[in-house]
Amino acid sequence: MKQEQAICQLAQLAEEWGCGVKPQEPMKHHVTMRVGGPADLLLEVPTEQALRKVLLFCREEEVPYYVVGRGSNLLVSDRGVQGVVLLLTGDMRKIRREGNEIVCGAGASLASVCSFAREHGLSGLEFAWGIPGSAGGAAYMNAGAYKGEMHDVLIAVRYMTPDGQIGEYHGEELQLSYRHSVFTDTQYVILALRLSLHPGDPAQIGARMDHLMKLRCEKQPYDLPSSGSTFKRPEGYFAAALIEQCGLKGLRVGGAQVSPKHSGFVVNDENGTCDDVLSVIRLVQEKVKEQTGVQLECEVRLLGR
């Protein structure tokens, strides 16, 4: 079956399986940088059962698929995405408490998990307040900020393989390191996370979260579309300091620029395109390498044609 025909058939079947179906969906509505052309098909997948059916169909018909969380740390090509984009919704966003642990669906926003922890008097996740991603995305890349990271609280992850099998990784099996996990090297889909926290006073937890959010808003360009921190921290250096040292703060290509507020962020401040953003990233990498000898590695993933 040709891929175009397979995608049309999948759209019909997915509706029967309870999925939201959006052909030719503009991806700029689903990434925090607000750039990107249309996906051939976007599916909002509400259950593990529906996800299994989608993955098995994609495997059988050789249709590429991509799971997208809240679209942070992600750029989508102006030419769009060939294949199927999956958003985890419904049951895949539920959150519950088990003693001092939280179990949450991969599709839940990290913000909602942080709020749940505060409301239930569970401390340890405050560092993640303000990270604009999903729980699954945070596990996938071992997200972190302000001297905390998912490694500190994540004890298990439930996942599904491309052939629909369900498994679970625990502890060291997760291979968590700087912006990396076992999942960054596989096509496995993260289903749910188990977080180990400790009891705390909700008011104190909230105060800590408010303090960290205040720091973020003071130092980072929260008022403009971005993909979060654009570059990984090079060993022994800080990316933002190197970029500023090279006189690149405010560097612009089209509607994208290095943020004048924080050099570690590329922002979309004038209806920029993905190509604009990529041009800024490449220029920064070239200039920093040329002037300092340090190769900046992009933290943001590129998806699409």
* Mean pLDDT within 167-187: 93
pTM of the full structure: 0.92
Cα separation, 168 vs 286, in Å, equals 41
All domains in the chain, ordered by first residue: 3-91 (3.30.43.10), 94-219 (3.30.465.10), 239-303 (3.90.78.10)
Token pair of 108, please?
């839940």
pLDDT for 2 equals: 86
Q: Of all residues in the chain, what percent are helix, strand and coil, respectively (each to 5)?
A: 35, 30, 35
pLDDT for 73 equals: 87
**pLDDT exceeds cutoff 70 at 188:** yes
Contact 265, 299 (CB under 8 A): no
pLDDT for 95 equals: 98
- Which residues form the catalytic set? 179, 229, 299
Cα separation, 131 vs 228, in Å, equals 8
Name which of 8, 84, 50 is nearest 164 in CA terms: 50
pLDDT for 100 equals: 98
pLDDT for 210 equals: 95
Percentage of the chain modeled with pLDDT above 70: 100
Name which of 191, 274, 289 is nearest 237 in CA terms: 289
* Mean pLDDT within 269-291: 95
**pLDDT exceeds cutoff 80 at 1:** no
Residues 104-135 pLDDT 10s: 999 999 999 999 999 999 999 999 998 888 99
pLDDT for 222 equals: 85
Cα separation, 104 vs 75, in Å, equals 25
Residues 68-84 pLDDT 10s: 999 888 999 999 999 99
Higher pLDDT, 8 or 1: 8
Cα separation, 111 vs 135, in Å, equals 9
**Which alpha helices (DSSP H) does 220-296 contain, by range?**
239-245, 274-292
Cα separation, 77 vs 10, in Å, equals 23
Cα separation, 231 vs 263, in Å, equals 10
Confidence class for position 305, pLDDT limits 50, 70, 90: confident
Confidence class for position 56, pLDDT limits 50, 70, 90: very high
pLDDT for 145 equals: 86
Residues ≥6 apart with Cβ < 8 Å to 193: 103, 104, 106, 135, 136, 138, 139, 154, 156, 157, 158
Residues 128-142 pLDDT 10s: 998 888 999 999 999
**pLDDT exceeds cutoff 90 at 185:** no
- Mean pLDDT (the chain) is 94
pLDDT for 72 equals: 87
**pLDDT exceeds cutoff 90 at 55:** yes
**pLDDT exceeds cutoff 80 at 175:** yes
pLDDT for 152 equals: 96
